[in-house]
Chains A and B, each alone.
Chain A
Amino acid sequence: MPKETEYAIEVENLTKRYGDLLAVNDISFTVRRGEVFAFLGPNGAGKTTTVEIIDTIRTPTSGKVTLLGMDVTKKKHDIVPRIGVLPQGFSSFDRITVRETLQYYSRLFCCANTDIDELIELVNLKDKTKEQYMNLSGGLKQRLGIAIALVNDPEVVFLDEPTTGLDPRARREVWEVLLGLKKKGKTVFLTTHYMEEAELLADTVAIISKGKIIAMGSPGELIESNANYLALTLHSVDERTFEIVRKMGFEPIHDNHKNIKVRVEHTDDVQKILNAIKSAGALYLSLDVRKPNLEEVFLKLTGEALREDPPEMEAK
């Protein structure tokens, strides 16, 4: 029997090369049992390569990965029945219905007494059980994919970009399902390039960029230690406001909607800025003040935006 440790996943000095390309560069981290661990990073950062090495789809170039106390390169046979995987760009058999698909996957796992109805309930596909896979919308396909990943009641669930390509509503529906998993106490390894997703779901977030982990901790810790300020945004300002704020010693930045953003240390500073604008007779339409989020943490750590494009919308 492999030794049971408090960690579900232990990764030591993991490296993966594809020819000249160094996709994962000597990373180490651990995932505790029962936590939701999110790998956050832009496309091409090495998220999928890492998760596919851990869930036994790929083999590492060097380094050691231990999953549930077993070496992933040597014990695939023993590991597979105890994990559930939703691979990136998941797809299934076109003409097989939702229920048949779940029955098929549960038969692949030995002795899995899957309660198909319970799974269907969990991912909220009750009305679609007789629908063929090809007729499902993107969000429904992903939810079915998550249900498939759960057919063997796995101890660790890997979800590789479960909401990429979904519209905001479908994404929130997938989040509902993932929050349900979290409640059940499953260990979940999630990759995403949506910071809201990581912030909402994850106990621990590892930010990955160019094959390296550049920061790791709970979303609160990451924000606290990397972005300890308030972000003040003034909407539809007139031309003088920017100068007024700059002369006060702050560093305002313009965005393309005639808004300016200012980082301030304390709430007092907000008051000071507003007073200065008021006394100068300058104008703004509205304002908001908020704590920074992981997006800003990422921007600060890497100097680049987490995603260049707004999330793709899906027609269906």
Chain B
Amino acid sequence: MNLRIISANLVVKLTSFYREKSAMLFTIAFPIILILVFGTIFMSQDNVSYHLCVQDLDQTNSSAQAVKTLELSGTFKITRVDPAVNATRYVIENQVNLVLIIPKGYESSLMQRMTLNDFKASVTITYIYDPSSSSVATKMQILNAVLAGMNQEMSGYPPFIRSVQTSILTKKYRFIDYFVPGIIAMSVMTLSLFGTVNLNTELRQKGVIRKLSTTPITRTDWILSNILYQFILAVISTIAMLLVSYAVFEVNLHIDAWLLAFILLDVFAFVGIGMILTRFVKEAQSAAAAANAISFPMMFLSGSFFPIELMPGFLQTLAKTLPLYYVNEGLRASMVFEDNMAALRYSMVIGVFVVVVFILGIIATQWEEGK
């Protein structure tokens, strides 16, 4: 190992990176776009507001009061539909998925019930809906719950069963807080894997590696400078992602040395895999394809985007064999749950994997040609 040689390599690589604008874009902009896109989707799920069309055929004070109550529940944004139009046609023509109809005679039935205590008096609210819309079922469920609440209130009795929600976490976390560590793990994986594969196949194809093999640089120097370079890129990329997450989504994440440790492990693991791939795939294009074949399943199966609890049992078992799963879980353990013991466990699993892959990677890296 020679520090002068490693730093010389690092300078050349970072200079090339700085001058190659598309690499900059891929490293910094791509993860940020992912965070912005998915973050926006998840944020809106945390704070849902449905659009609801209401057609009031009764046109009385009481029916207007009922619509007001729906609006005040906070879940719905109400659009009032002209009583003269056909609700079914309205659904089709305006591409809404649901119209709630308050029937004529709402107020008179209500009066009958409230003043005369006539329990036979009731009204039927109609939902005109489009079953092909995916969110309409949820919307109707929520509506039912709101209507049940209104019914209960009218009865004048206090409810018997009440509920209270207690989170397992001491602080309040949102889905975005779980999502950001997953994106960090995934971006670092992609950077390290593709960075290693692209750089090495390109330099080998162009003959730069052959030239280097006639200088005092050793295989270890070359690999270590590669790792260091990928680590620096990973840190830059992570900082960019965290800044955006804090600024746009006000995430609530705990940052300590574990973050750096897991980034480093992530880099080692996937630079190692990249080195093994480079050995077996000769052309730059097929190398990129091979890297894709490895990173795509990893991205979707190891819980970067959504919790693996949502997947069938055998896929969950498969997920636990993937290195990225342990990086994801480790990062969440440290950044979300602040659970050092769990972080240590996950880091040990990925650590063992790193040692094995890395040794294989060093063996696989060919320096001299034509044995």
What 1/0 flags go to A92-118 for Cβ under 8 Å of B? 111110001000110111100000000
A95 to B210, Cβ gap below 8 A? Answer: no
Q: Which residue of A lies closest to B213 (CB)?
A: A57
A85: Cβ under 8 A from any B Cβ: yes
A89 to B214, Cβ gap below 8 A? Answer: no
Known A87-B210, A92-B208; contact A58-B368, beta-carbon cutoff 8 A: yes
Known A18-B370, A59-B370, A96-B16; contact A85-B208, beta-carbon cutoff 8 A: no
A105–B8 Cα gap in the complex (Å)? 8
B19: Cβ under 8 A from any A Cβ: yes
* Interface size counted on chain B using CB atoms at 8 A: 25
- Indicate which residue in B8, B216, B368 contacts A104 across the interface (CB closer than 8 Å): B8
Tell me, rounded to whole Å, the shortest Cβ–Cβ distance linking B73 to chain A.
60
Chain B residues 192-226 with CB under 8 Å of chain A are 206-208, 210-217
Known A58-B370, A100-B12, A104-B11; contact A91-B207, beta-carbon cutoff 8 A: yes
Chain A residues 53-74 with CB under 8 Å of chain B are 55-59
B16 to A59, Cβ gap below 8 A? Answer: no
Q: Which residue of A lies closest to B370 (CB)?
A: A58
| Residues in B whose Cβ lies below 8 Å from that of A80 | 214-216
B162: Cβ under 8 A from any A Cβ: no
A109 to B216, Cβ gap below 8 A? Answer: yes
Q: What range describes how many residues of A lie at the interface?
A: 20 to 34
| Residues in B whose Cβ lies below 8 Å from that of A250 | none
| Residues in A whose Cβ lies below 8 Å from that of B8 | 104, 107-108
A132: Cβ under 8 A from any B Cβ: yes
A80–B2 Cα gap in the complex (Å)? 16
Tell me, rounded to whole Å, the shortest Cβ–Cβ distance linking A73 to chain B.
10
A96 to B216, Cβ gap below 8 A? Answer: no
B16 to A108, Cβ gap below 8 A? Answer: no
B216 to A91, Cβ gap below 8 A? Answer: no
A223: Cβ under 8 A from any B Cβ: no
Chain B residues 1-52 with CB under 8 Å of chain A are 2, 4-5, 8, 11-12, 15-16, 19-20
Q: Which residue of B lies closest to A49 (CB)?
A: B370
B370 to A85, Cβ gap below 8 A? Answer: no
Sample of 23 A–B contacts (CB below 8 Å): A52-B369, A57-B213, A58-B368, A58-B369, A80-B215, A87-B207, A87-B211, A89-B207, A90-B207, A91-B208, A92-B208, A92-B211, A93-B16, A94-B16, A95-B20, A96-B16, A100-B15, A104-B11, A105-B215, A107-B5, A108-B215, A108-B217, A110-B216
